[in-house]
Homo-oligomer: A and B are copies of this chain.
Amino acid sequence: MTIDWDRISHITKVDPAKPLPSDLDVLEGTDLVLVGGSDDVTEANTLAAIRSVKDAFPSMPVFQEPYSSAHVSKETIETADSVAVPAVYNGDRNHFVGKHVDLFTEVGRKPESLLGSGLPVVGDLIASKGVDAISELTTNVIGEGYVVQHLESTAATTSGVETTYTSEQVAGAALATEAFYGFPIFYVEYSGTYGGPEDVAAAARYLEETTLLYGGGIDSQSKTSEILAAGADAVVVGDCFHDDPETFRETIPE
């Protein structure tokens, strides 16, 4: 599935460890679903959540956003439209580069196993098909340059974030994403609190090809509008999807 980011302004973050609302129709106004979380998340409940959303809305783009390589498998990569792996600029080494090398080392270690154990192993031929299979698979794995701006959040704790960035540093990280790392997404994350439009405006200045997302404390249409007006491509709405469908509906732009 090719994602037309111009048509995406509202994204729902689904925590696979929480029960889905009994009526998934609440997702009607959202443009993309991001499935991921930290506590009690597994590869199995991630896959189940992706499939539930796909069953209800077959044309909805669904991304997995894994917090650990243990949540990623050949099945999640193939079932989700993309696996968007956070790279946390102001996190610790493990959350920018360490985990990623581990993930790709794991994926690349035994290309043969990707082809299934039932296949006869014909020396280099199978290995070379395995390499092709891995190349194919990894095209579905993309990077999200993250800045986590709320220290009192699980996202900050689990990513080793000890200091937030100034708006100038947010702009620098955005420019590095656009010009150097080439991740398709840059994400300003205020996880659980509303951060206002300043960081978004600073980042938007340098982003042309990169999609700019904002998450944190969005609980009304006026906040959605303020963030979109500052230059974000989309807002990400999480908590109230599971807890408060009324508020969730109010976050959807007109």
Contact = CB atoms under 8 A, between A and B. Distances in A.
A101 B176 contact: yes
B181 A143 contact: yes
B85 A134 contact: no
A109 interface: yes
A97 B89 contact: yes
Interface in A78-111: 85, 87, 89, 92-93, 96-97, 100-109
Chain A interface, DSSP helix/strand/loop, else mixed: helix
A134 B176 CA distance: 12
A175 B135 CA distance: 9
Interface string A96-131: 110011111111110000000000000000000001
Contacts of A176: 100-101, 103-104
Contact of A180 (B105, B134, B143, B208): B143
A146 to B, nearest CB: 11
Contacts of A172: 101-109
